[in-house]
């Protein structure tokens, strides 16, 4: 389905002609959708997980770019052959500020590569995109492409150790990722660009910092020895390579496509990782509705496939059919992976000639099988009988939508015209005369989005998605008729050249001033773009609107007709008589032909004339926000300023200002906080503040839409300080939008009809938040318990019920009448601009100054030494099978620079080992993350796990991991320790990528009230000074579960169904044989695992305990393998440890099986520590000592510069 928000709509409508749809992404930065911030969710630290992203999400979350026309004409230089390499072009259209150089080459094996020389990058990267994805899965083995993607990480002939690749990346501050989509599989990585760390010292080994990096490694960083604790990975790295980091990474990376091993010892674990990934998505409406649409499509087209795969489709069913699954994956790889289907993008500091030499050396071995491009031209996703139908689907969350799908023309070769862009721009418009403006005024809808969804070469769908109100659901037929009336208007008039030219102009401006993106995002996207039939000179500007073709637009419009669409109506209430369940996700639905009277109304709507059509529907007006003043006065400076200056500081206003001296783009941002403690005084006040903000934004939609299209946006939200307002984008007309926003805030008239629609939407948001994935929810409860004044969704929802329109009308003037105004103006602005915009805000509001004594002060609780608190909640969703834990260890004050440096280094040192041990080896769950947790005034260390295991069990495994970590720290070499330090230093000193990243950094430090603008540099300096003894002491005092001075709080989110405790007999046997087989192989014994399995099967070990299993194993070692008693004893002892470690997964009883947890009051943990269960949060907080509020690190007067020239 297309995007459902206005912001996503803009991305959708301006996306490139790409199928960049990350079907299966190995990791990503987590951004939870919590109801209290449902409109603008925010989350600072990001748990890492592997993501399998549905096809319909592709353009949404991975096409945040709108490539545009360059000011240069396309080149047509002839290709040049250099030896066995064909140089295709070096003349790529690129943005005005792009200082990179490019070269496109083709190797003798027909592998095509884009080489990128960036002299300033601090990260090198590469990506390979293979033209095969889940559409090539066997019909009876869905998920094959996804599984192969997992397995390629598990060792190669040249580098047989299963985690050699990830270990090398980790030793050079690197990370990797991959995704599987419909017709492509994309692999990518990044590493340090040079062998020098940020402090100028040679770079040794280092691991990525999960708190800031979100690298992959998921199930790809285990070892074949099940007894090795992940903590030992702290000291494992390969630093013998004298070559640049990029060369070593490319060497290992290339072997994925030369000689992967598909290690038998990793197969079961990786398939279980795929299965866990699928289970994570089972309650996600995005996945459920996407698959429902696919399942009700043409079975002869691969769009019908279930793409993720699970243990049943990838292992159990194939084995029942007599297949050897490893051989099937190898066969898939050999059938579909070929050099001529691969596109490579490499970015580094090295010269183009050097990069070319490396690529030829390392990738020429990839076999070329001269395979054709994967296409499905002879079959379409929807047959005639799949159209003209209406599908009623019941969602997990309380959502309502109407989605219209039209089979559409394939635009793959229409990259110069892209007719769908014209159509989606108009249908998806939100200004006066638009579909949304009309149905919103009628009270039927809250949002609309439209655009093309590429399915595969040869097929596409044009989609219109409308977020309905309660009344809109009842009137969904009327909504559909309005859509078809608008389409009739577009079809009856000639396509408008001026509309196309306006879109083209905006795209040119965007491309001209496009800034750099992170290295791996850049290479991954470009390797995908290279699969398209674009002229190679246009790889960077592939979505340019270059030619207007009215006939082509009319042809595209001809697909939007009554005999060529299907409807999907999503609601928890209507119609109520769903009679079917979708196979893979269990979504309840009902499907049938669109009633004849409804279809007749649609045909009538499409045949309307200007005289019979709704008069409110008309073409948009010309966009007055198109920027025309795009000059940038660039002045060379010895070094960019590291802090903003205070150019006004009085009782009413603090104005921070910095003219851009680093990026030189015609853009800027003005952040404004109207500080007023009333907004955060009570849960009711915060809800009122949110409703007020939503009402203002609702009133501004039609006006602000043009600004957003023209690259100028605003945000308005309630916060702990009061009201936050920002305007950002091209600075040309920034003051115009700022004035309109504040005037609308001041003059808001609360419309009762819109109020009740927005109130109901917010209420649903609060309810839906409790049906999110548990790991999305757990952070809310941690904040609730550790902040002096914070609330949770159920408290907001309770207050919301009692708020009426007059409450908002009476409340918001109090927010605006007295406040303190904090401003940051940054970008292509002058001091005079900043002062004028600040005066503008003052003059509109006419507010009184708020004394500093009345400002809200943020504080956090100090978890006392020796404490061990647990807070439990039962999840609201009865169908969610996952539990979750956030295990939080209190460290100290945010202002303790040395302590903060120790935490950063410890988090870095345990990031990969925690993931490896708890996720890869113990297979506790798909979501495992560890890292630093920053609150307003305190810092701590946390581990988050989402799992089918109980939270209490997860806590015991975290305890065990942390205890083992202490042993590893003690034995760590100085060389390894220094490598970890360099990794943290590199990360803290990483270069800013664009103007918005610098603005965000400044505003974050201003909002923190510490004004520590040089925190990254001081952190790097403090980390550089640390010794191993410092970290060992830090660990012993504050982290070690056995420490009497440690303070810990755990949040348990428990599934209603309880833990997964039963393991089926066959599954138990398979897991047991796999575990013991790996142990024996790692110990140097050749073992016939099939024979071992048959022995266990004959013994009938289902539900057995450890002693019974060991007795059978002992007999096998003696009789089948002829081992002596002396050889057998250590094997059995190790097996006992392994079985104990994996007892839950194996379904095996152990002597120390979990005892029934204490549910109230005080109990004992497995480490012997007293456990205090929190049953009354208010009492808990009342007993805790609170931290001091934020105290400025640097006296604010040092930033004052009232005579700043610029």
Contacts of 167 (CB under 8 A, 6+ apart): 161, 221, 233, 236, 237, 238
User: CB atoms < 10 A from the CB of 398, how many?
Assistant: 15
> How far is it, in rounded angstroms, from Cα 645 to Cα 830?
12
* Contact assessment for residue 220 and residue 154, using Cβ atoms and an 8 Å cutoff: yes
In this structure, are residues 168 and 190 in contact, taking their beta carbons and an 8 Å threshold? no
List, as one string, the DSSP characters of 217-260. Answer: -GGGS--S-TTS-GGGGGG-------S-HHHHHHHHHHGGGT-B
Q: For residues 1042 and 964, is the Cβ–Cβ distance under 8 A?
A: no
Contact 902, 1038 (CB under 8 A): no
Inter-axis angle of helices 6-14 and 683-709, nearest 10: 20
The 8-class DSSP code of residue 787 comes to: B
Q: How far apart are CA 13 and CA 426, in angstroms?
A: 10
| Nearest partner of 28 among 289, 261, 210, 290, judged by Cα | 210
3-state secondary structure (DSSP) of residue 273: helix
User: Coil, strand or helix: which one is 947?
Assistant: strand
Q: Which of 93, 149, 411, 955 is catalytic?
A: 149
Contacts of 1107 (CB under 8 A, 6+ apart): none
φ/ψ of 658, rounded to 5, equals -150, 125
Give the contacts of 856 (CB within 8 A, at least 6 positions apart): 675, 677, 680, 720, 721, 722
H-helix or E-strand spanning residue 823: strand 818-827
Instruction: Answer whether 6's CB lies under 8 Å from 401's CB.
Output: no
Sign of the Cα torsion 1112, 1117, 1119, 1120 reads: positive
Cα separations (Å) of 460 from 377, 391, 1003?
11, 20, 42
Q: What is the dihedral of CA 572, 573, 578, 581, to 10 degrees?
A: 10
Q: Which residues contact 760 (CB under 8 A, 6 or more apart)?
A: 469, 470
How is residue 533 written in tokens? 């039939």
Q: Which residues contact 772 (CB under 8 A, 6 or more apart)?
A: 32, 33, 34
- Can you tell me whether residue 656 is helix, strand or coil? strand
Asked if 149 is an active-site residue, the reply is yes
Collapse the DSSP code of 648 into the 3-class scheme (helix H, G, I; strand E, B; otherwise coil) and give the result: strand
Alpha-carbon torsion, ordered 781, 782, 784, 788, to 10 deg:
170
In angstroms, the CA 388 to CA 561 distance is: 10
C-alpha 764 chain-centroid distance = 23
CA triple 58-62-65, angle to 5 deg: 120
Q: CA dihedral in degrees (1064, 1067, 1073, 1078; nearest 10)? A: -130
Residues paired with residue 123 on neighbouring β-strands, in sequence order:
192
Residue 268: left (phi > 0), alpha (psi -120 to 50), or beta? alpha
Measured distance CA(683)–CA(791) in Å, rounded: 7
The CA-based angle 325-329-330, given to 5 degrees, is 115
Nearest to 39 by CA among 775, 713, 717, 748: 717
- For 691, half-sphere exposure in the C-beta direction (CA atoms, 13 angstrom radius) is 37
Instruction: For residue 887, list its beta bridge partners.
Output: 943, 1050
Among all residues, which ones are annotated catalytic? 149
């Amino acid at each position: 389905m297309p995007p459902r928000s206005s912001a996503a709509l803009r991305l959708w409508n301006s996306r490139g002609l790409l199928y960049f749809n990350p079907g299966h992404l190995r990791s990503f930065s987590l951004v939870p959708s919590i109801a209290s911030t449902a409109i603008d969710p925010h989350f600072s630290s990001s748990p890492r997980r592997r993501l399998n992203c549905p096809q319909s999400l592709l353009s949404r979350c991975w096409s945040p770019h709108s490539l545009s026309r360059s000011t240069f004409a396309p080149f047509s230089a002839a290709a040049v052959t250099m030896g066995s390499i064909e140089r295709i072009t070096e003349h790529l259209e690129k943005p005005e500020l792009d200082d990179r150089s490019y070269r496109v080459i083709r190797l003798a094996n027909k592998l095509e590569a884009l080489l990128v020389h960036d002299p300033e990058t601090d990260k090198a990267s590469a990506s390979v995109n293979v033209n095969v994805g889940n559409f090539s899965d066997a019909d009876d083995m869905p998920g094959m492409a996804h599984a192969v993607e997992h397995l390629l990480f598990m060792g190669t002939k040249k580098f047989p150790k299963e985690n050699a690749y990830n270990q090398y990346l980790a030793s050079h501050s690197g990370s990797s990722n991959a995704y599987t989509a419909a017709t492509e599989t994309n692999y990518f990585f990044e590493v340090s660009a040079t062998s020098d760390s940020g402090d100028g010292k040679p770079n040794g080994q280092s691991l990525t910092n999960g708190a800031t990096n979100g690298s992959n490694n998921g199930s790809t960083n285990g070892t074949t020895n099940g007894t090795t604790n992940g903590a030992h990975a702290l000291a494992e790295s390969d630093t013998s390579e004298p070559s640049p980091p990029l060369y070593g990474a490319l060497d290992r990376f290339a072997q994925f496509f030369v000689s992967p091993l598909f290690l038998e010892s990793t197969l079961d674990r990786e398939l279980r990782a795929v299965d866990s990934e699928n289970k994570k998505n089972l309650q996600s409406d995005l996945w459920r509705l996407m698959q429902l649409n696919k399942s009700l499509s043409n079975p002869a087209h691969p769009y019908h496939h279930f793409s993720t795969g699970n243990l049943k489709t990838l292992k159990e069913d194939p084995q029942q059919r007599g297949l050897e699954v490893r051989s099937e994956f190898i066969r898939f790889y050999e059938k579909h992976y070929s050099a001529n289907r691969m596109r490579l993008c490499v970015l580094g500091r090295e010269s183009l000639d050097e990069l070319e030499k490396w690529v030829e050396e390392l990738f020429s071995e990839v076999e070329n099988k001269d395979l054709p491009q994967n296409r499905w031209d002879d079959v379409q996703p929807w047959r005639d009988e799949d159209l003209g139908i209406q599908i009623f689907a019941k969602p997990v969350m309380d959502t309502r939508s109407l989605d219209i799908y039209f089979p559409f023309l394939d635009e793959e070769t229409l990259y110069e015209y892209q007719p769908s862009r014209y159509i989606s721009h108009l249908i998806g418009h939100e200004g006066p005369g638009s579909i949304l403006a009309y149905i919103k005024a009628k009270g039927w809808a809250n949002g609309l989005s439209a655009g093309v969804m590429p399915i595969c070469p040869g097929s596409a769908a044009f989609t219109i998605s409308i977020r309905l109100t309660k009344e809109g659901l009842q009137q969904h037929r009327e909504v559909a008729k309005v859509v078809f009336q608008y389409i009739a208007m577009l079809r009856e008039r000639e396509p408008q050249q001026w509309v196309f030219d306006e879109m083209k102009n905006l795209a040119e401006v965007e491309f001209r001033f496009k800034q750099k993106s992170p290295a791996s995002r850049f290479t991954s996207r470009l390797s995908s773009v290279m699969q398209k039939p674009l002229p190679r000179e246009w790889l960077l500007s592939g979505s340019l609107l270059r030619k207007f073709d009215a006939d082509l637009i009319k042809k595209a419009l001809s697909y939007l007709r009554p005999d060529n669409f299907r409807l999907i109506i999503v609601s928890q209430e209507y119609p109520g008589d769903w009679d079917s369940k979708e196979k893979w996700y269990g979504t309840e639905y009902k499907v049938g032909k669109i009633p004849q009277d409804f279809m007749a109304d649609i045909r009538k709507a499409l045949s309307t004339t200007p005289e019979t059509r709704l008069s409110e529907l008309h073409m948009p007006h010309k966009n007055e926000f198109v920027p025309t003043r795009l000059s940038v006065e660039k002045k060379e400076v010895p070094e960019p300023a590291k802090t903003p200056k205070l150019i006004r500081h009085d009782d009413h206003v603090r104005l921070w200002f910095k003219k851009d001296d680093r990026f030189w783009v015609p853009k800027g941002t003005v952040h404004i906080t109207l500080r007023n403690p009333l907004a955060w005084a009570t849960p009711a006040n915060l809800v009122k503040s949110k409703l007020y903000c939503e009402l203002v934004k609702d009133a501004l939609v039609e006006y602000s839409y043009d600004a957003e299209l023209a690259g100028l946006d605003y945000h308005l939200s309630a916060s702990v300080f009061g009201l936050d307002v920002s305007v950002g984008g091209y600075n040309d007309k920034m003051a115009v939008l700022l004035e309109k926003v504040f005037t609308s805030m001041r003059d808001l008239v609360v419309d009762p009809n819109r109020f009740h629609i927005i109130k109901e939407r917010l209420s649903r948001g609060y309810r839906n938040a409790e049906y999110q994935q548990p790991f999305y929810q757990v952070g809310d409860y941690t904040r609730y318990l550790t902040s002096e004044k914070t609330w949770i969704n159920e408290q907001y929802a309770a207050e919301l019920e009692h708020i009426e329109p007059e409450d908002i009308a009476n409340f918001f003037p109090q927010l605006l009448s007295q406040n303190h105004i904090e401003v940051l103006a940054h970008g292509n602005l002058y001091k005079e601009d900043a002062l004028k915009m600040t005066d503008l805000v003052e003059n509109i509001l006419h507010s009184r100054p708020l004394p500093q004594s009345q400002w809200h002060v943020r504080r956090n609780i100090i978890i006392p030494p020796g404490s061990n608190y647990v807070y439990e909640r039962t999840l609201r969703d009865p169908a969610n099978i996952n539990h979750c834990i956030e295990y939080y260890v209190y460290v100290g004050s945010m202002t303790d620079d040395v302590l903060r440096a120790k935490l950063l280094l410890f988090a870095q040192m345990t990031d990969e080992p925690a993931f490896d041990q708890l996720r890869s080896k113990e297979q506790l769950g798909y979501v495992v993350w560890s890292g630093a947790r920053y609150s307003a005034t305190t810092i701590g260390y946390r581990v988050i796990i989402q799992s089918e295991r109980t939270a209490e069990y997860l806590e015991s495994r975290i305890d065990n991991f942390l205890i083992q970590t202490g042993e590893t720290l003690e034995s760590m070499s100085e060389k390894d320790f220094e490598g970890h330090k360099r990794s943290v230093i590199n990360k803290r000193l990483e270069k800013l990528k664009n103007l918005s990243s610098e603005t965000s950094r400044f505003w974050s430090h201003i909002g923190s009230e510490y004004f520590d603008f040089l925190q990254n540099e001081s952190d790097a300096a403090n980390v550089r000074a640390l010794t191993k003894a410092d970290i060992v002491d830090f660990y012993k005092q504050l982290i070690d579960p056995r420490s009497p001075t440690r303070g810990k709080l755990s949040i348990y989110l428990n599934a209603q169904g309880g833990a997964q405790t039963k393991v089926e007999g066959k599954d138990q046997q398979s897991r047991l044989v796999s575990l013991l087989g790996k142990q024996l192989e790692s110990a140097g014994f050749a073992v016939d695992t099939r024979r071992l399995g048959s022995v266990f099967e004959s013994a009938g070990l289902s539900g057995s305990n450890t002693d019974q299993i060991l007795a059978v194993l002992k007999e096998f070692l003696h009789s089948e393998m002829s081992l002596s008693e002396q050889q057998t004893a250590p094997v059995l002892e190790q097996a006992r440890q392994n079985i104990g470690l994996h007892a839950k997964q194996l379904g095996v009883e152990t002597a120390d099986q979990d005892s029934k947890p204490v549910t109230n009051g005080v109990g004992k943990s497995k480490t012997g520590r007293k456990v205090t269960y929190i049953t009354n949060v208010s009492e808990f907080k009342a007993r805790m000592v609170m931290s001091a509020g934020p105290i400025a690190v640097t006296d604010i007067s040092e930033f004052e510069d009232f005579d700043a020239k610029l």
